[in-house]
Amino acid sequence: MHDEDANAGPRLRIAVFAGMAELAGCRQIDLPWRGGTVAELRRGLADAHPAVASLLARSAVAVGGRYAGDDDPVAAGADVAVIPPVSGG
């Protein structure tokens, strides 16, 4: 789907859950990624998968098992998860 990047460098594997997995059609989204901030990651993800953009805007991002702010760094190969609004109980 991103042929221009298919054989290029580092990528990021992003775990998605629940309604976001349904919107994305998969539980893990791969993005080409050379490092950047959470804000840049949000933009990259929304551009690559417009279907998730609206829910993504209401979601938290966890990097390395901790919730991260928009200015926090995301290294290539980091463990990243998108956490949409919760509904347990």
Q: Which of 18, 39, 46, 75: binder of other proteins (CB under 8 A)?
A: 18
How far apart, in whole angstroms, are the C-alpha atoms of residue 52 and residue 65?
21
The alpha-helical segments, DSSP class H, found in 18-87 are 18-24, 38-48, 53-57
What 8-state DSSP symbol labels residue 50? G
Q: Does 78 bind other proteins (CB under 8 A)?
A: no
Q: Which of 60, 72, 75, 78: binder of other proteins (CB under 8 A)?
A: 60
**Residues binding other proteins (CB under 8 A):** 15, 17-19, 22, 55, 58-60, 62, 65-67, 81, 83-89
